[in-house]
Amino acid sequence: MAVNSLSGKLSAVLVKQTKPKDAVYKLTDGKGLNLEVRPNGSKYWRLSYRYHNKQKTLALGVYPQVTLVNARDKSFEAKQLLDKGIDPAIRRKQQKSVTLDNTFAPISAEWMKTRAKWSKGHADKVRQTITTDALPYLGNMPITDIKTSDVLYVVRKIEARGALDVAARVKQRINSIFRYAIQTGYAEYNPVEALKDVLTTRKVQHRQSIQLDQLPAYLKALDSYQGNSVTRYALQFITMTFVRPGELRSAEWKDIDIDKAIWRIPAEKMKMDEEHIVPLSKQAVDLLKQVKELTSQYDLVFPGSHDHRKPMSENTLTYAIRKRLGFDATAHGFRTTASTILNESGYRVDVIERQLAHGERNKVRAAYNRSQYMAERVEMMQAYSDFLDGVKAGAQVVPINISNK
C-alpha cells in the first residue's frame, strides 16, 4: 500500500482536523516523528529511526489517546535511548516482560481467545485439559523460566495414569501456547520442541463392538436392564441410530422433530463440524416418546442423573454395557456392528458412510450426497430397526433382505 508523506511542523489543530484519504498517508512532524492517517480515519503515531544501519519503526500510540505533545515526549525518550546505543523497540519488550503478568496461565488464556473459530464444545475440552493438567504445574511460572524438563514432568504425570492420548494432546497444546508466546513477544524459545520423540505410545486398539452372534443375547439383556431408565433408553436409541456417543449425550429436544421423524445434529456437535441428519425409524420415534415422559422438562434428551443440566457422563453407556449387561464392548462399537450388517446387506457404501457421518473431502459432492441419499437413508434406518426387532424375537442373524426395498 502506497504511503504519501506531507512534510512540515505539526500543530494540535492540524492533527485534529486532518481528514482520511483513499490511501494511507503521513504527516511529518520532523526528526522521524510521523502521524499515519488511514482511509478509515484512524491516526497512528510512528517514529522512524535507524539502528545498526537498519531502518526501523516504533509505534507510539493512537490519536487522540496519545496527543501531539505526548507523541513528541515519547519520541524524545526513544532518541535518548538511541543516543546510548539502546534500541527503543527492544527496551519496550523488556519493560513489557517486567510490567505485564507473563506467567503461563494468563498467556494460555490469551491464546485461547485467539481460537475464535473453534466450536464451543471443542474450546471447552481444550480449556479443561489445560486447566486440569498444565496449570497446576506451569500456571504460576514466568513463561521465560519454563524449561523442557518442566513440560516433560507434566506429560509424564498424565502418562502415569494411563491417559496417553491426553498426554499427547496436552503436549501439543502447550506447544501451541509457546508458539503464540514467541509470536507476541512473551518468549524467545519453545521448550516443547525438544520433546518430539518422548511420548509413550500404545498399540492402536479398535473399539470393541457387539459380535453378530452376540446380538440376540445383547438385545434381550438390554430389554430387561434393571439400571437407570434413561441409560437403558439411551442404549436402545444408540443401538438403532449408531451415532457417536458424544452426539447422543449432547442431543437436545429442540434438535428433534418427532412428527417428521428427523434428528438434526448441529454442526458444532459433530466431529466433522457439519450438520448431520438422522432419520428416525418408527421404533426410534416410539422410544423417544417414552423418553420424553421422563426428560421433556430438560434441554437434554439424555441428561446426567445428578445434574440434569449436563449430559450423562462419558463412561455411563460403556459401563452399563460391560458391568451391568456383561458384554465386552463399547457404546461406540454399535457403529461397527451396524456398518458390518448394512454393508453385508447390500446397501450402497456411500449411503452407509453418509449415515455414519464420515466426512466427505469433496465439499460439492458432500452437499450433493446429503440431498440425494436421504430417501435411501430413511429406508435403510427403518429396515435396520426392523432387523433388530426380528433378531430380538428370535430370527436368525442374517443380512437384511433389501431385494424388495
Q: Look up 276 and say whether it is catalytic.
A: no
Task: Check 173, 276, 332, 354 and give the catalytic one.
Answer: 332
3-state secondary structure of 82: helix
Buried b / exposed e along 184-218 (16+ C-beta atoms within 10 A): eebbeebbbeebeeeeeeeeeeeebbbbeebbbeb
Pick the catalytic residue from 16, 254, 271, 348. Answer: 271
Which residues have CB under 8 Å from 124's CB, separation 6+? none
Q: Residue holding cell 500500500?
A: 1
Of 147, 207, 368, 405, catalytic: 368
How far is 359 from 309, CA to CA, in rounded Å?
30
Q: Where are the alpha helices (DSSP H) in 84-186?
A: 88-99, 104-113, 120-129, 135-138, 148-160, 164-183
Q: Is 225 exposed, middle or buried (0-12, 13-18, 19+ CB in 10 A)?
A: middle
Q: Is 358 a catalytic residue?
A: yes
Q: 245 preceded by cis ω (within 30°)?
A: no
Whether 93 is catalytic is: no
Q: Which three cell numbers stand for residue 83?
A: 543516543
Least Cα distance to 26 among 4, 52, 55, 50 occurs for 4
What are 9's three cell numbers? 511542523
Q: Tell me which of 358, 363, 365, 405 is the catalytic residue.
A: 358
- 441428519: which residue's cell? 277
Is residue 335 flagged as an active site residue?
yes
* Residue 152 burial class via C-beta count within 10 angstroms: exposed 0-12, middle 13-18, buried 19 and up: middle
- For residue 156, indicate whether it is catalytic: no
Nearest 5°: the CA angle 389, 394, 397 is: 80
- Decide if 368 is catalytic: yes
> Catalytic one among 74, 173, 232, 244?
244
DSSP, collapsed to helix, strand or coil, labels residue 102 as coil
Q: Which residue out of 249, 269, 335, 377 is catalytically annotated?
A: 335
State how far the Cα of 243 lies from the Cα of 234, in Å rounded to an integer. Answer: 11
Rounded Cα distance between 197 and 192, Å, is: 11
Q: Please list the active-site residues.
A: 244, 271, 332, 335, 358, 368
